[in-house]
Amino acid sequence: MTMRHPLIAGNWKMHKTPQETEEFIVELLPKLAGVGEIEVLIIPPFTSLDRSGTLLQGKSLQLGAQDLHYEAEGAFTGGISARMLAACGCKYVLVGHSERRELFGDDDTIVARKLNAALDSDLMPILCIGETLSEHDLVEEKITRQLTQDLTGVGGKALAKITIAYEPIWAIGTGKTATPEVAQETISMIRRWIASHYDEAAAQGTRILYGGSVKPANAVSLLAQPDIDGALVGGAALVPGSFAQIVDAARL
């Protein structure tokens, strides 16, 4: 069976100036001593990426971006390309986060284009999928549609560079969390979909995270589930101490 190394990713959303980002990194780095096989990632706003990349050179803490444009360059005011992100030191980029889908109109066609733009620039996409509360009874239908459309044209070799994050939209920023059992059941279903559309080796090799009100108090029980390979953390990732506690939960 393929060994999947845990990934703990902190999505800061629209928080922290470059100076506040530097202070966070300086405080967090000593807390990550001895993380071993656990990969730890911060995802600051665009304005903090360049400074973060400089501070993290040669460090174990990885850097990611919250979004990207699907074009390489051009007249796209406000857009940020994959090449720009890579130049700042990013290894990862979020694609299809629920807030980009719900608030900014990223449909599955756009998500697929962004995913391929990231892959073309050797960035590792974290593909976010999930259902709203009203869709919860149809979660398999919603997840299946997202996976089918978002991964259009993605072969097995490219899939190996993609991390999937299951985020029930009803649990993001609400304080509600899917129970470990519900999260495990849905992520297991995602893995079965991969097996049926690629193969069992791809299914076992794909890293799948859970996101949605992950905190130090629930991280251990969530990360103990056999198919949950890490966490995409929101609010708790803004404080070095609480984020480090979630990283510690992945060590157990």
Give the amino acid at 8: I
Distance spanning both ends of the chain, measured CA to CA? 20
**170: Cβ–Cβ under 8 A, 6 or more apart, which residues?**
131, 132, 133, 136, 176, 212
Question: Which one from 39, 99, 131, 167 is the annotated catalytic residue?
Answer: 167
Helix, strand and coil content of the chain, in percent to the nearest 5, comes to 50, 15, 40
User: Which of 107, 88, 87 is CA-nearest to residue 96?
Assistant: 107
Give the separation between CA 186 and CA 171, rounded to whole angstroms: 14
Question: Taking a C-beta distance cutoff of 8 angstroms, is the pair 171, 135 a contact?
Answer: no
Sign of torsion over alpha carbons 200, 192, 117, 20: negative
Give the separation between CA 54 and CA 85, rounded to whole angstroms: 13
- Residue 197: active-site member: no
Question: Which one from 39, 69, 97, 131 is the annotated catalytic residue?
Answer: 97
Q: What is the largest CA-CA distance in the chain?
A: 48
- Residue 97: active-site member: yes
Question: Taking a C-beta distance cutoff of 8 angstroms, is the pair 170, 134 a contact?
Answer: no
Catalytic residues: 97, 167
